[in-house]
Structure 1
Amino acid sequence: MTIEENGFLLVPDNPLAAVDPWDLVAEEYAASTISVMRPFADRAVRLAGLSDRPVPPRVVDIAAGPGTLSLLAAEHAERVEALDFSEPMIAQLAEAVRAAGVGNVEARVGDGQALPFADAEFDAGFSMFGLMFFPDRARGFAELFRVLRPGGVAVVSSWAPADRSTWMQMSWRALGSADPDIRPPAPNPESLENPEVFEREMRAAGFERVSVVPHTVEMVFADADALLARLTRGIAPLALMRRSIGDRAMAERIEAMRSYLTEHYRPGSPLTTTAYLGVGYK
């Protein structure tokens, strides 16, 4: 089984399913990914109907990363419990909470496959591009279901296939220009990039009224250098690549990518990326 992170191939039994690569990129991830992640988080909050509830809900954000969704949810929630298995990511989240002056978000280190919460504790639960990485997705969905109250809603997101994203296609072509052995992933019908699998796994966990909604975000960059910076900052697979091949070889690859993007990206032209948001109710 394979999955993707910002268009890069991931395999659950490789180091990218562990905490180490996310620890490596936590600071840059927080700074560089918000332009992509925030629109999806905003859509998830709206799909969950947080602002429509007569009583502010209790919310859990699983694999919360630097807290992009947690901070949006906090605007409508009584309390948000944000959990991630990377301590540096949680440190970034806690700092963002302090900087925003938010008093209703609790950030903690923890495992999304063994949540440290009681049964039926939350009105809404989220996992934005997190549960898709779990080695045991069924367990992740089951834990999310367990901690929701009857009537509670869950929203989980996963990337759509690379061929639905001009952003991912550009990323893979740039990487391939630096190393011809790097190829884009083949479509994986057994992952959450398949809406039928997505819906089936949510229903198997007990969720009802399940829907899988596509959402597309458009990004525009001033020039190739701006695009390159977004492609290479805070990306866990590239952090592992750098550690594997060394700084000098990585610098050479980045320069090859720069040359490719200078030739093939027209400044100001839009690139898109699409995700699926699975919505289910307990």
Structure 2
Amino acid sequence: MPEFENPDHWNTAARHYEKTAHPFTMRYAEAALARVPLTPDSRVLDVAAGTGALALTAARSGAQVLATDFSPAMVERIAAANMPNVETRVMDGQALALDDGSFDAVFSIFGVIMFPDWRKGLAEMARVTRIGGTGVVATWQDRGAATFLLLGQIRRKLFPDLGGMTMPDAVRTLSDPADFARELVLAGYHDPRIEEVTYEYPLDMALLVEPDTLFGMSPDWTSLSDAEKGAVIAEVRAMAGDRAILPIPSTALIAVARR
């Protein structure tokens, strides 16, 4: 089983994820929410919510939000925000214990794309979206994003004979907007609109003193020898030059579809 399919992996990573990935993914969550008008009467579901970048942002509109994730530690981080209009539940997004058509808007920001059966995840999102409601899914392009993207680029440059990390099947399949749209229709949505959204991940060069905090979640890092890791760090420093922050442009596809 790949690590990203194991809830224990995310339980261990939850606090680190909240500090490092959450602020970055929130920018894409905000972009997704800008495409779906919410009101205090809206019922919103966040599938595979992580530490709540989408759920907590949506709740600030006044909407009633249910945040679900298969990782109890991730759900605990959302609950710790103590927002009165956010409910949290540990739940498998491939088999949502929720009624048909019970939400006005259903989101998954870089969540369903990690599922072993991601097509089932998309179908479950559609099932619990009311007729006339909206489904929103964000995925990375097939090279990933942020430090994963940077590390893959450096590995291919420095160690071209080494195989790289295998991206989740959904990321590979949904990287083409036409394929993405087709899968959403097959899942039960219609009229999908897909847009590219790019933000720069700000890699703080000061964090290279403890590179495991930057790269440790990636097999592209953990599979390297100490000497190879040293070469990667040297390459990152060379790319940054005198800059304290190395920007890493990272592109997502955000799909909005009707039920």
* 2:166 is the alignment partner of 1:191: no
Give the Cα–Cα distance (whole angstroms) in 2 for the partners of residues 260 and 215 of structure 1: 27
Aligned to 1:93: 78
Distance in 2, matches of 1:241 and 1:272, equals 20
- Range 167-176 or range 206-215, more displaced: 167-176
Q: Distance in 1 between matches of 2:9 and 2:60?
A: 31
Question: What SS class does the counterpart of residue 162 from structure 1 fall into?
Answer: coil
Q: Which residue matches 1:156?
A: 137
Q: CA deviation at 1:134?
A: 1.4
The one of 232, 239, 242 aligned to 1:264: 239
SS of equivalent to 1:66: coil
Aligned with residue 198 of structure 2, among 216, 228, 247: 216
Confirm whether residue 64 of structure 1 aligns to residue 49 of structure 2: yes
Q: Deviations over 1:3-28 (max 9, x none)?
A: xxxxxxxxxx5343232322221110
2:21 alignment partner AA: T
Deviation at 1:68, TM superposition (A): 0.7
| Distance in 1 separating the partners of 2:56 and 2:149 | 30
Counterpart of 2:51, as a letter, is P
Q: Secondary structure at the match of 1:82?
A: strand
Q: Residues 217 and 255 (structure 1 numbering): CA distance in 2 closer, same or farther, change over 3 Å?
A: same
259-268 or 135-144, which deviates more: 259-268
Give the 5 Å matches for 1:6-17: 14-17=2-5
1:79 maps to 2:56: no
Mapping 1:237-252, distance limit 5 Å: 237-238=218-219, 242=222
Structure 1 length as normaliser, TM-score?
0.78
Instruction: Answer yes or no: is the 8 Å Cα contact 1:59–1:77 preserved in 2.
Output: no
> Is the aligned partner of 1:43 residue 2:31?
yes
SS in 2 for 1:103: coil
- Structure 1 vs Structure 2 CA RMSD: 3.1
* Matches of 1:205 and 1:227, distance apart in 2: 42
* AA at the equivalent of 2:20: S
Q: Which whole-Å deviations, capped at 9, do the CAs of 1:204-242 have from their partners, x for residues lacking one?
A: 12211111111000233453x34686884486435x975
Match of 1:23, SS state, is helix
CA distance in 2: counterparts of 1:73 and 1:250, whole angstroms: 43
Matched position secondary structure for 1:37? helix
Q: CA 1:168–1:237 in structure 2 vs 1: closer, same or farther (change >3 Å)?
A: closer
Tell me what 1:171 maps to.
151
Secondary structure, aligned partner of 1:198 = helix
C-alpha distance in 1 between matches for 2:12 and 2:137: 24
1:153·1:280 contact (CA, 8 Å) conserved in 2?
yes
* Alpha-carbon displacement from aligned partner over 1:88-144 (angstroms, at most 9, x marks no partner): 11112212x22xxx1110111110011111111110010010111112222111111
| Contact kept in structure 1, 2:142 and 2:172, CA below 8 Å | no
CA distance in 2, matches of 1:134, 1:276: 17
Write the deviation string for residues 6-52 of structure 1: whole angstroms up to 9, x where unpaired: xxxxxxx53432323222211101111123201100001111222xx
Residue 93 of structure 2 corresponds to 112
Identity in percent? 29
| One-letter amino acid matched to 2:188 | G
Q: Which amino acid aligns with 1:210?
A: P
SS in structure 2 of the partner of residue 76 of structure 1 = coil
Range moving further from structure 2, 129-138 or 13-22: 13-22
- The AA in structure 2 aligned to 1:151 is G
Cα distance in structure 2, aligned partners of 1:172 and 1:194 = 20
Between the two proteins, the alignment pairs up a number of residues equal to 255
Q: Cα–Cα, structure 1 residues 230 and 85, in superposed 2: closer, same or farther, change >3 Å? A: farther
Identify which range, 78-87 or 251-260, moves more after superposition.
251-260
Which structure is richer in relative contact order (CA contacts within 8 A, separation 6 or more)?
A: 1
- Cα pair distance change 1:233/1:90, threshold 3 Å: farther
